[in-house]
RNA sequence: GCGGGUGUAGCUCAGUUGGUUAGAGCAUCUGGUUGUGGUCCAGAGGGUCGUCGGUUCGAAUCCGAUCACUCGCCCCA
């Protein structure tokens, strides 16, 4: 029994879960298409270097969460996120000539973490990448698209957009230095977690939940003060763009993305409905990423959303199609039932035809599969070249000539 | 990786201070109804009580370990 359990942190997607999952992907893909984003699928495993060179050796994702393995001397790993793979594909396929490149993707990601609600070891993301545009208009477009998709999923009012800027590379580096300089004398006052952060990723200390850390941070220099004029103007343009689109947001100066390659715009759509996993969709600008992985210096901006988290919040769950139940009575009617079933399916109707059973059993089955209507083929009906069409909701039953069946059933569509 | 909670039928849950063959509702199956589903009635199947070990005359119940789920931390979608 234990060996027939799914691997920890993995889940089967069945029935309603699958319908929710699928609805998130299809709606997102459809809307992304309106903005010119075309779907791409990249491999779910890559050379490990694709991630270590972009996400950052010291990040938790690379240092402890990757599913890495070796095969024939190649160092490979299951992708922990989507951006690096799409950027690799951009370079591999020589798309520098076709910028801006707009990609939408959906698929599984893998991180070796302790599972929780809304957090799994194999999880799924939708995401978009807009590569080759350095204008803040691109940031705005990608944010408007995200907001549009969240609205379509019925999450309006349930999520808040938090926004921040990390500034350009120079501003970010300057701020990082100032922060480290300020905090280092207080190293021993920091929480244990933050002592580590001070060396690995000092900006994350801004995000700490520890009370002592928060008091120190309140006194620390602000990111805003380290922004150069260009970075400041960039951020202002992004904010003006959002306002022009009627998208509300809050600036959160402590918002820091975990991955190293972000600059300028950083954002998260958050909810309070999922416990500790409040982030439902997040992203930002990553101008240095493609160069870091060995490609030509190319700007980019994008985001990823957790499908499981979005599916948990999905407002309207799509139902399963209600089929037509075809019910033959007696061996003579079996052949006719097969033929009618085939015809109706090719005409686009969902049809359920039981493999065996007397009429009562088949009627019961019609009920359990939530059939909308039953097409009953009995001796009496067939003699007249007709079928009994029974509305299973109202119980009303009429005789319909076989030739008129397809058109008559249209009233149940 | 660290800390808290929970594991009894497919699902949701009872199960007394440790005491015979471990229960209910829902679901499933059969029959009442051989040409009519839902409702109703009668009946049936389904459990190594997460797993392993310990205490005891006796363990679903007490103890330990382990696994899984879950909540929080870390981190993140």
Residue with smallest Cα–C1' gap to B29: A361
- Ligand-binding site membership of A111 (annotated): yes
CA of A326 to C1' of B72 (A): 53
To the question of whether residue A162 is assigned a binding role by annotation, the answer is no
Across all strands, nucleotide nearest A275 (CA–C1')? B71
Nearest residue: Cα versus C1' of B71: A116
Whether residue A257 is annotated as binding a ligand: the answer is yes
Phi, psi of A373 (to 5 degrees): -150, 150
Letter string b/e over residues A340-365, b meaning 16 or more CB atoms within 10 A of that residue's CB: bbeebeeeebebbbbeeeeeeebbeb
A285 is an annotated ligand-binding site residue? no
CA-to-C1' distance for A376 and B35, Å? 9
Chain A 7-36, CB < 7 Å to strand B: 8-9
Nearest nucleic acid nucleotide to A377, CA to C1' distance: B35
Place of tokens 């061996």: A331
Burial A187-221 (b: 16+ CB within 10 A, else e): eeebbeebeebbeebbbbbbbbeeeebeebbeeee
* Cβ-based burial of A108 (10 A; exposed 0-12, middle 13-18, buried ≥19): middle
Rounded to the nearest angstrom, the gap between the alpha carbon of residue A387 and the centroid of all alpha carbons in its chain is 46
Q: What is the pLDDT of residue A365?
A: 92
Start-to-end CA distance of chain A, whole Å, equals 44
| Residue at minimum CA to C1' distance from nucleotide B1 | A114
The C1' atom of B69 and the CA atom of A61 lie apart, in whole Å, by 24
CATH of domain A2-168+228-313: 3.30.930.10
SS3 call for A287: coil
- Write down which residues 176-195 in A have CB closer than 7 A to strand B: 193
A61 touches strand B (CB under 7 A): yes
Is there contact between A77 and strand B, defined as CB under 7 Å from any strand atom?
Answer: no
Task: Judge if the beta carbon of A265 is closer than 7 A to nucleic acid strand B.
Answer: no
Strand A397-401 and strand A386-391: pairing?
antiparallel
Contact call for residues A399 and A390 (beta carbons, < 8 A): no
Chain B: bases < 7 Å from a protein Cβ: 1-3, 28-30, 33-38, 48, 50-51, 67-77
The CATH number of the domain covering residues in A324-412: 3.40.50.800
Task: List chain A pLDDT tens, one digit each, 413 residues.
Answer: 345 778 888 888 888 888 999 999 999 999 999 999 999 999 999 999 898 887 766 666 666 688 888 899 999 999 999 999 999 999 999 999 998 999 999 999 999 888 888 888 999 999 999 999 999 999 999 999 999 999 999 998 889 999 999 998 888 888 888 888 888 888 888 887 788 788 777 888 887 777 777 888 888 888 888 888 999 999 999 999 999 999 999 998 888 875 667 889 999 999 887 777 789 999 999 998 898 888 999 999 999 999 999 998 888 888 888 999 999 998 889 999 999 999 999 999 999 999 888 899 999 999 999 999 999 999 889 999 999 999 999 999 999 999 999 999 999 98
Does at least one atom of strand B sit less than 7 Å from the CB of A122? no
CA closest to B33 C1', residue: A360
What are A385's two structure tokens? 């070249």
Cβ < 7 Å from strand B, A residues 211-250: none
The ipTM (two decimal places) reads 0.83
**A294 in Cβ contact with A53 (< 8 Å):** yes
**Is A232 annotated for ligand binding?**
no
A205 within 8 A of A194, measured Cβ to Cβ: yes
Does any strand B atom come closer than 7 Å to the Cβ of A137? no
**Token output for A169:** 């590379």
Contact yes or no for A79/A109 (Cβ under 8 A): yes
The reply to whether A81 sits in an annotated binding site is yes
d(CA A153, C1' B9) / Å: 37
**Is A355 labelled a binding residue?**
no
Pairing of strands A160-165, A45-47: unpaired
Query: Does residue A114 lie within 7 Å of nucleic acid chain B, judged by its CB?
Result: yes
C-alpha A310/C-alpha A238 separation (Å) is 25
Separation between the CA of A70 and the C1’ of B60 (whole angstroms): 47
Return the domain boundaries, chain A.
Answer: 2-168+228-313, 324-412
Whole-angstrom distance, CA of residue A93 vs CA of residue A101: 12
Q: How many CB atoms lie within 10 A of CB A305?
A: 24
A1/B21 CA-to-C1' distance in Å: 26
Q: What is the rounded (10 degree) CA torsion for A133, A136, A137, A142?
A: 80
Rounded Cα distance, A357 and A364, in Å: 10
Q: What pLDDT does residue A118 have?
A: 83
């Amino acid at each position: 029994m234990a060996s027939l359990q799914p691997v920890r942190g993995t889940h089967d997607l069945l029935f309603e879960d699958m319908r929710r999952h699928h609805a998130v992907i299809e709606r997102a893909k459809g809307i992304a298409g309106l903005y010119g984003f075309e779907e791409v699928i990249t491999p779910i495993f890559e050379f490990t270097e694709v991630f270590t060179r972009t996400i950052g050796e010291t990040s938790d994702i690379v240092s402890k969460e990757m599913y890495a393995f070796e095969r024939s001397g190649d160092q490979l790993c299951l992708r922990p996120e989507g951006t690096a793979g799409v950027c690799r594909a951009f370079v591999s396929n020589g798309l520098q000539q076709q910028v801006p490149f707009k990609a939408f993707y959906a698929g599984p990601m893998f991180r070796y973490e302790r599972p929780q609600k809304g957090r799994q070891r194999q999880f799924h993301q939708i995401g978009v990448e807009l590569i080759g545009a350095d204008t803040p208009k691109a940031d705005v477009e990608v944010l408007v698209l995200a907001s549009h998709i969240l609205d379509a999923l019925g999450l309006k009012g349930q999520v808040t957009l938090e926004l921040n800027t990390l500034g350009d590379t120079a501003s970010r580096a300057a701020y990082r230095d100032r922060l480290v300089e300020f905090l280092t004398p207080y190293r021993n006052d920091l929480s244990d977690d933050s002592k580590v952060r001070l060396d690995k990723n000092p900006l994350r200390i801004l995000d700490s939940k520890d009370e002592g850390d928060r008091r120190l941070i309140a006194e620390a220099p602000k990111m805003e003060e380290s922004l150069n004029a260009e970075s400041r103007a960039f951020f202002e343009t992004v904010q003006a763009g959002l306002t022009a689109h009627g998208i509300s947001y809050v600036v959160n100066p402590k918002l820091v993305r975990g991955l190293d390659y972000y600059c300028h715009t950083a954002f998260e759509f958050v909810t309070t409905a999922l416990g500790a996993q409040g982030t439902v969709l997040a992203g930002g600008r990553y101008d240095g990423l493609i160069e870091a992985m060995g490609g030509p210096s190319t700007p980019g901006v994008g985001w990823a959303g957790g499908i499981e988290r979005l599916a948990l919040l999905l407002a309207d769950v799509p139902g399963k199609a209600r089929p037509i139940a075809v019910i033959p009575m007696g061996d003579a009617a079996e052949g006719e039932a097969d033929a009618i079933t085939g015809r109706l399916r090719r005409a686009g109707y969902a049809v359920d035809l039981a493999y065996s059973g007397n009429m009562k059993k088949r009627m019961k089955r019609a009920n359990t599969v939530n059939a909308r209507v039953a097409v009953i083929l009995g001796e009496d009906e067939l003699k007249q070249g007709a079928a009994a069409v029974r509305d299973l909701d109202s119980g009303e039953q009429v005789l319909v000539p076989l030739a008129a069946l397809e058109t008559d059933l249209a009233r149940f569509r």
